[in-house]
Amino acid sequence: MAFPNHADFVIVGAGVHGLSTAWRLAERLIARGEEVEGRIVVLDKSGIASGASGIACGVVRNNYFQPAMRRLMAHSVGVWESDPEALSYHPVGYLQISSESMRDDVRSIYEQQQEIGYESEFIEGAAASDAYMKDMFSDWQAQGITSVLHEKRGGYSNNTKSMYGIAKKVEDRGVRIITGVEVKGLVSESGSSSIQAVETNRGTVTCERVIIAPGPWARDFWNMLGMPKQITLKDLEGNVHTGIDMWRFWQLEEGVLQVEPEMLQTNDGKVPPVIHVDTDAPLKSCVDGSLITDEMWGIYYKPDWHFGGIQGGASPYKVETAVDQVKIDPYGPSSPEFVASDTFAHMWVSALAHCHKRFEGMMGKYHREASGGIGCFTADSFPVFDHFHDNATLIADSNHGWKMLGVGHLIADEVLGEAQDLLEPFRFDRFEKGNLHPVSNSPYPWS
């Protein structure tokens, strides 16, 4: 089939956001009795789920300290729940297990979940928390835990299976996905700010609207849009900061313990919720008993038959390189300084053993998986969903992407002229206006 000369809607990126947008756009056009074929095209430089979506750990949760993020996630969980089989989604729930320093923050999350009707349970106090976890796992042994937030919705999905399930929905509705197409530039005519065409390595496509869902390549498309590399930011105290880098990069560290996934079943033989632990209890090596850290640390993990073991990760670390020099390769660091730290496996497996006796002596089972990768974060580590140059839309998820399946649906509705309140807190002008999101005491930069 020939490369198209024109499409009403050109979507850049066949990851979770690009395909979600195409899915909803096509659905809306069909509902209006309009043709889809030839009007929507999705371009990707490699293939479906070839970027960050293809290596996502797949966790789907509502657990956010920020009210705007929590409302947006509740909407996205609803989209995941709309077709679990096709989306390879497993609604097992989610556990946020925390030490005292995070207790008030997590209680606030629980209270606001109740306000929006998101089902969860909150357990407080060291004894009650320990009993709750031991009722689920008889070998639970984590120290210093004083709260457990159990989200009854949420869970995880299998990254590539999910993406091909979404791709099928897209193609069944008449959308063409073209792979092996690298976008080289965005073309504007003299005297106009709107984007007239998308220039690629296979030709130029004129369009009425371009929707860019670039994942970790957000910085590069930001530059194509001619947006500022540095911005003015007003913080939550009203202080104004100039010359702030719009983008920064963090290395996400994840791996797999190569054991039978059934090893992490609950006491009654069921698949457990996704488990996330944040604590300031001293973490000691499961190899020699030496102290790894006595500062705040966090891990997440789950049994995963897609990855073939216990899969999870820990807090990321910042890539200390000039922003313009960072090369993005989500499947593996592009140069030696971006290799996931050698200490990750030791820390993560030791943390698993800190939480469960069953993982003691398992260091030799660790396997570095094609998971994690470099994430592109905004100046405040939260997403930017906004429209530029009259007809260009950018979905910059700031590495919150996978769980946000519903964002593409909301973007599609906005592109068709219906403003979405859930997206308002994520506009670019929040930095200058000082409408930043509150942050918690979590060790994660996005919480």
Contact (Cβ atoms closer than 8 angstroms) between residue 107 and residue 65: no
What's residue 325's pLDDT? 72
Contact (Cβ atoms closer than 8 angstroms) between residue 211 and residue 415: yes
Contact (Cβ atoms closer than 8 angstroms) between residue 283 and residue 230: no
Tell how many helices (H) and how many strands (E) occur in the chain: 9, 25
Question: Would you say residue 127 has pLDDT above 90?
Answer: yes
The stretch 370-392 carries a mean pLDDT of 88
Written as one string, the DSSP assignment of 401-420 is TTT-HHHHHHHHHHHTT---
What's residue 14's pLDDT? 96
What's residue 372's pLDDT? 61
Residue range 23-38, pLDDT digits in tens: 999 999 999 999 999 9
What's residue 340's pLDDT? 45
Residue range 230-283, pLDDT digits in tens: 999 999 899 999 999 999 998 888 889 999 999 999 999 999 999 999 999 999
What's residue 217's pLDDT? 93
Question: Would you say residue 332 has pLDDT above 50?
Answer: no
Burial class (CB in 10 A: 0-12, 13-18, 19+), 242: exposed
3 state SS of 208 = strand
Tallying the residues shown for the chain, one arrives at: 447
Strands (E), 280-380: 283-284, 291-293, 297-304, 309-314, 317-318, 366-367, 372-378
What's residue 334's pLDDT? 38
Question: Would you say residue 336 has pLDDT above 60?
Answer: no
Residue range 408-433, pLDDT digits in tens: 999 999 999 999 999 999 999 999 99
- The pLDDT-based confidence of 335 (bands split at 50, 70, 90) is very low
% of residues, the chain, pLDDT over 70? 94
- The pLDDT-based confidence of 333 (bands split at 50, 70, 90) is very low
The stretch 213-223 carries a mean pLDDT of 94
Please tell me the class of the 6-433 domain.
alpha beta
41-55, 97-111, 142-156, 334-348: range with lowest mean pLDDT: 334-348
* Residue extents of the structural domains in the chain: 6-433
| Average confidence score pLDDT of the chain | 91
Question: Would you say residue 71 has pLDDT above 90?
Answer: yes
What's residue 446's pLDDT? 61
What's residue 338's pLDDT? 39
- CA–CA gap between residue 308 and residue 289 (Å, rounded): 28
- Kindly give the pairing relationship between strand 283-284 and strand 197-200: unpaired
Element (H, E) at 72: helix 67-81
Residue range 338-357, pLDDT digits in tens: 344 568 899 999 999 999 99
% of residues, the chain, pLDDT over 90? 80
- The pLDDT-based confidence of 329 (bands split at 50, 70, 90) is low
Question: Would you say residue 310 has pLDDT above 60?
Answer: yes
| Greater pLDDT, 440 or 240 | 240
Question: Would you say residue 330 has pLDDT above 90?
Answer: no
Structure tokens at 231: 């911005």
- The pLDDT-based confidence of 371 (bands split at 50, 70, 90) is low
